[in-house]
A and B are shown apart, each in its own frame.
Chain A
Amino acid sequence: MKRNVSFLTGFFTIVVAGLVLAGFFLAVVFGAQTYRDIVAGQTENDQTRALLSYLTTCARANDAEGAVEIIYEHGAPVLVITGDDSGYCLRIYHQDGCLVEDYGRAGTELNPSAAQIIGETGSFQVEEVTENTYAVTTDAGRVLFHVRSVVAVESMEAAADGWE
């Protein structure tokens, strides 16, 4: 009788300890998986914002007539954004699985070694969808930007002609 009581007590203790340990391990595993997924999602969001919003910000910061141009180097597209009359421009292109930009003299060769990485992408395509509207496609999606200054200049010229 005494042995049975001792056995039951010991068994009960082991079962409770086992449940506590199992619950602890499950919580740790579930928590770690959740944390990993959240970090992956945050990284993906940051990548999307970096790749897409940066391009429109670049274009808007240098919004001027003739500021945006698409050229091809070794068959790959390069987005050239000229901000002023200095003769230097921003060149955005795809290099070694990344979207990079370098700042160099217009018309010269690209300088990938001095380029700054914007984000990781396996693809990069640029096209002019309509007049003064460009679409850039990367792994993160497609972004549109419109050069507004050309329209403003044309409107001002039309208004000036009307006054004359």
Chain B
Amino acid sequence: MAGNDSGGRDKNRKLHSTAFYIEALVLAAVFVIVILVLTKVFALSRQMSAGARLLTCAVHLAENTAEAVSASDSPQALYELLDEDGNAQIYQKTLTQDFPFPDYVYPDSEWECSKVLAWYDGEMNPAPEGVFLVDITWLPEEENGAGSGRNVGLARCFIAVYWNGEPVYTLETAVYRRQGL
């Protein structure tokens, strides 16, 4: 009888110990899951904060460029206004289907437009090899359709800001030119 009693007590103790270990492991697992979720939330919030900073810089650069456009009556004037320490380039381009503004209805025929590119660093200072690229497409509107040779003085400008090649912000504006191209 005594032998049976001590065997029963040992069995109970083992059961209790096993239950305790399992509960502790489950508790630890739940805690680890909660920590992982919190870590993911913190990382996501950091990412969103960095995105907000990028967007603020991109909007400011686009706003500055739009002001420069309004102060220019030709792509060359725009280039001279934006160029500082060689951070800008200008060239002629034929407008094709590959255009960052899909909502804009452009004619079927290919149009010659001017492109001005300007680079800025992370602090929005002009830098030839900066991370921000401001891409300006200067598209003069012509009376009676493209190729007529008559300029009515309005030039549309499409401003796109890229960060390390990724588009961040786009802006469309226009300027009335006193002197046609």
Contact = CB atoms under 8 A, between A and B. Distances in A.
B17 A132 contact: no
Most buried by B among A20, A26, A155, A158: A20
A9 B53 CA distance: 51
A30 interface: yes
Given A16-B28, A38-B49, A146-B70, A141 B123 contact: yes
A70 interface: no
Interface of A: 5, 9, 12-13, 16, 19-20, 23, 26-27, 30-31, 34, 37-38, 41-42, 44-45, 48-49, 52-53, 56, 129-130, 132-133, 141-146, 148, 151, 154-155, 158
A48 B125 CA distance: 13
Given A41-B49, A56-B63, A146-B70, 15 more contacts: A16-B25, A20-B31, A27-B38, A30-B39, A34-B45, A42-B52, A48-B57, A133-B67, A133-B81, A141-B125, A142-B125, A143-B60, A144-B71, A146-B71, A155-B178
Contacts of A37: 46, 49
Nearest to B126: A142
Contacts of B27: 16, 20
9 contacts: A16-B25, A16-B28, A38-B45, A41-B49, A41-B50, A141-B124, A142-B64, A143-B63, A144-B64
B35 to A, nearest CB: 5
Contacts of B45: 34, 38
User: Nearest 9 pairs between A and B by C-beta?
Assistant: A146-B71, A133-B71, A144-B67, A141-B124, A34-B42, A38-B49, A45-B56, A41-B49, A146-B70
Nearest to A145: B67
Interface in B28-85: 28, 31-32, 35, 38-39, 42, 45-46, 49-50, 52-53, 56-57, 60, 63-64, 67-68, 70-71, 81
Contacts of A42: 49, 52
Nearest to B14: A5
Interface of B is mostly: helix
A147 B180 CA distance: 21
Contacts of B56: 45, 48-49
Contacts, number: 91
B20 A9 contact: yes
B178 A151 contact: yes
B181 interface: no
